[in-house]
Structure 1
Amino acid sequence: MTTSTEAIELSIVMPCLNEAETLAVCIDKAQGYLRRSGVVGEVVVADNGSTDGSQEIARAHGARVVDIPVKGYGAALMGGIEAARGDYVIMGDADDSYDFSNLDPFVGRLRAGDQLVMGNRFQGGIAEGAMPPLHKYLGNPVLSWIGRVLFRSPIGDFHCGLRGFNRQAILNLHLQTTGMEFASEVVVKSTLGGLRVSEVPTTLEKDGRSRPPHLRSWRDGWRHLRFLLIFSPRWLFLIPGAVAFLLGFFGTLVLAFGPIVIGDVGMSEITQTYLAALAVVGYQAIVLGILTKIYAQHEGFNIPRSRSFDRLERRISLESGALAGLGLFVVGLVIAIVQFSIWAGTGFGPLDQSSAIRVAILSALFMMLGAQTIMAGMFLGALKVGLRRN
């Protein structure tokens, strides 16, 4: 509890959208924790447009209500965090699934200097029926594993709704998402931003609502996965693109010299056509991944950096891209000219169809890669145009 003259150490923020059934008990638990622990704090309810009287319930139980007009879980939380007055914030859902009466582990880690303290429900315990099997055995473990792999995060439960953090450190991350993927954005940007991140065991009880939760398993799971992949262009574009390009390019090149038979499987111009298409798609993915990362860094997004990529960025430009693309295009054009000359030497008579098609595919591949490289270089030049920013 606080007085008007006391500096607030902790703000307990609860997002709320029609939580009249459980909001009061959550606030009472949080207020009880503040009284028992002696922590100078407040309870903030970030209301996202409730129509069931949640606002009045919150005020009646001593919470400060902040109205958030922008819809979404992330929007409500960011509005609450911005309105909070404490040095630290602990956020948690207002459905009575998290224990607001036992926040000492979070406060202790925050006072020790950690800037993000995540709850881990798998370590603390999940009550029977508190988490759907789809979330418990597939959704949360898989998405958390992907997050740990892509961003080298130490967090084992990316989507725990009970977490604490240094308010200013989180505001400095300039979080943007408004939906459920906000949970992933906090962890990813905190990790990439070099914040001190830790986790503590916490429990999850079956929520006290009679209505279904706002969470939609497949829709919100996809939004989390999409965020993780887009924020890591290396894994979304560069690595899959490189595999596809190398397989497609060298397969096309080898088949240009003649059919290949492996066991009972024969590969010729039809296989070569598909491999050339694979090479083009893979190359486009590589180019898009590079341009995406350059754009993100140019705009100041906090994404993973590497020395090798920084060196690559310094070396590539509109001019170097145009020259490399022109070189690839000329190689394809020379192959086409040689093929045309051979045809002309026969008096434009019939050619061996299989051989001619294989050479034409190789020629077309080089010219397409060259054109793509030239256009990518032009786009890169546009990205690097210096602009005065307000």
Structure 2
Amino acid sequence: MTIAPEIELSIVMPCLNEAETLAVCIDKAQGYLHRSGVIGEVIIADNGSTDGSLEIALDHGARVVNVEQKGYGNALMGGITAARGTYVIMGDADDSYDFSKLDPFVERLRAGDELVMGNRFRGGIAPGAMPPLHKYLGNPVLSTVGRLLFRSEIRDFHCGLRGFNRESILGLGLITTGMEFASEVVVKSTLGNLKISEVPTTLDKDGRSRPPHLRSWRDGWRHLRFLLLFSPRWLFLIPGLVAFIVGLIGTIALAFGPMVLGSVGFDVSSQVYLAALTVIGWQAVLFALLTKLYARHEGFYLPRSRAFERFAERATLENGALIGVGLCLVGIVVGVVQLVAWGSTGFGPQDPVATMRLAVPAALALMLGAQTLMSSLFLGILSIDVRRV
């Protein structure tokens, strides 16, 4: 009885009507395995091809995995899940990546790296291989945003050719279904403290005659949206804190009278808008905190800090409710004081400007208190322990 050797490497290609270029990609991958002596397999994760891609894949010795759920991320996850190799190298089946030159990836994976990214800007981009919009704006901007938000060293976030330890990547709980899957792999690997490296790779011109599946603005926005939503600190917390502090200081300062800064005067009308800015800022802060607390509760990978961990220990329904009730009481007390003062004049006509100076901060305290109280109740719901099926 002959025991089949253990598969070390699975080369996974997502496929949706790639009949023009699929054969050459598979042949290059098979050629690499034969030349290098790496025991491996080529997997075509088919996402509903109708142009004969399935037959081509089988004829050229690849294993086909049918993935019914549409989307780039779904197709890749279907292939990765079905892979039998210790390591996986994924790449597009449009002949833009050279599957015959995978040695740098395998070398780093064998050395213990859990994610090895290709870098097209270091390896070389053939003329016409990448649209100027992607080369000079899209990829550099998105990669810079990713490095800033997640302290990543990767300089080409969206290179389609990358290798990884299969078990390490499956352990990240990847969930995106579309093109943003490329960003999710890098972000969650970084947050999960996986060992990551980058190697030069080349990008050739797409070998297909039809337009690519990628849609520049739509898919670029999906990548950016994912990066921002996975960093609530920069999307909500910091802008919210700035708006809250500026609005609160301005609202309180104008309660004592009008102000003039340079040639610009501020009075109660400005106070109303500053109060609105305070409410919006506080809502953004609460949303950021609830997002991170929910992620912490569910075990999601989001950037964490010691300050946030200390806050999380004290963030309870009871503590939040006390703060909310306290703010509401401040608003109520100021309102009662104004009512008593009005009653002492026989409930007659009032100076609207003088009345508004105190009414706006009082209303602001009520709104902030209500926001805090309701957010605390929602936190209580999030914190309920449930049995996972």
Q: Provide Cα deviations, 1:70-122, integer angstroms capped at 9, x if missing partner.
A: 10000000000011111111000000000111100000000100000000011
Aligned amino acid, residue 262 of structure 1: L
How far apart, CA to CA, are the structure 2 residues paired with 1:389 and 1:79? 24
How far apart, CA to CA, are the structure 2 residues paired with 1:332 and 1:313? 27
Q: Provide Cα deviations, 1:254-308, integer angstroms capped at 9, x if missing partner.
A: 1111111122211111111111111001101111111111111111112122221
Alignment of 1:43-192 (within 5 A): 43-192=42-191
Q: Provide Cα deviations, 1:127-186, integer angstroms capped at 9, x if missing partner.
A: 111111111111111111111111111100000000000011111111111100000000
**Number of the residue aligned with 2:228:** 229
Cα RMSD (Å) of the superposition? 1.1
The 10-residue stretch of structure 1 (45-54 or 336-345) with the greater mean CA deviation from structure 2:
336-345
Aligned amino acid, residue 82 of structure 1: T
Q: Give SS of 1:173's match.
A: coil
How far apart, CA to CA, are the structure 2 residues paired with 1:319 and 1:276? 26
Aligned amino acid, residue 179 of structure 1: G
**Number of the residue aligned with 2:261:** 262
How far apart, CA to CA, are the structure 2 residues paired with 1:80 and 1:4? 24
- Deviation for aligned residue 1:232: 1.2
Aligned amino acid, residue 244 of structure 2: F
**Number of the residue aligned with 1:377:** 376
Please state if 1:275 is matched with 2:269.
Answer: no
- Deviation for aligned residue 1:357: 1.3
**Number of the residue aligned with 2:357:** 358
Q: Give SS of 1:46's match.
A: strand
Aligned amino acid, residue 237 of structure 1: F
Please state if 1:317 is matched with 2:316.
Answer: yes
How far apart, CA to CA, are the structure 2 residues paired with 1:345 and 1:291? 45
> Which ranges of structure 2 fall in alignment gaps of 5 or more residues?
none
- Deviation for aligned residue 1:230: 1.1
How far apart, CA to CA, are the structure 2 residues paired with 1:11 and 1:228? 28
Q: Provide Cα deviations, 1:174-218, integer angstroms capped at 9, x if missing partner.
A: 111110000000000111111100000111111011111000111
Aligned amino acid, residue 185 of structure 1: E
How far apart, CA to CA, are the structure 1 residues paired with 2:255 and 2:224? 40
Q: Give SS of 1:66's match.
A: strand
- Deviation for aligned residue 1:359: 1.3
How far apart, CA to CA, are the structure 2 residues paired with 1:178 and 1:353? 56
Q: Give SS of 1:326's match.
A: helix
The 10-residue stretch of structure 1 (300-309 or 75-84) with the greater mean CA deviation from structure 2:
300-309
Alignment of 1:210-229 (within 5 A): 210-229=209-228
- Deviation for aligned residue 1:347: 2.0
How far apart, CA to CA, are the structure 2 residues paired with 1:377 and 1:65? 50
How far apart, CA to CA, are the structure 2 residues paired with 1:136 and 1:323? 53
**Number of the residue aligned with 1:305:** 304
**Number of the residue aligned with 2:13:** 14
Q: Provide Cα deviations, 1:14-63, integer angstroms capped at 9, x if missing partner.
A: 00000000001111111111111111111110000000000000111111
How far apart, CA to CA, are the structure 1 residues paired with 2:22 and 2:151? 36
Q: Give SS of 2:319's match.
A: helix
- Deviation for aligned residue 1:4: 7.0
> Which ranges of structure 1 fall in alignment gaps of 5 or more residues?
none
Aligned residues: 388
Aligned amino acid, residue 74 of structure 2: A
Q: Give SS of 2:227's match.
A: helix
Q: Judging changes above 3 Å, is the alpha-carbon distance between structure 1 residues 297 and 85 closer, same or farther for their aligned structure 2 residues?
A: same
How far apart, CA to CA, are the structure 1 residues paired with 2:214 and 2:127? 19
Aligned amino acid, residue 306 of structure 2: R
How far apart, CA to CA, are the structure 1 residues paired with 2:168 and 2:185? 11
How far apart, CA to CA, are the structure 2 residues paired with 1:174 and 1:375? 31
TM-score (norm 1): 0.98
The 10-residue stretch of structure 1 (330-339 or 53-62) with the greater mean CA deviation from structure 2:
330-339
How far apart, CA to CA, are the structure 2 residues paired with 1:106 and 1:313? 40
How far apart, CA to CA, are the structure 1 residues paired with 2:100 and 2:386? 51
Please state if 1:342 is matched with 2:341.
Answer: yes
Q: Which runs of 4+ in 1 moved over 3 A?
A: none
How far apart, CA to CA, are the structure 1 residues paired with 2:59 and 2:37? 22
- Deviation for aligned residue 1:349: 2.3
Aligned amino acid, residue 343 of structure 1: W
**Number of the residue aligned with 2:367:** 368
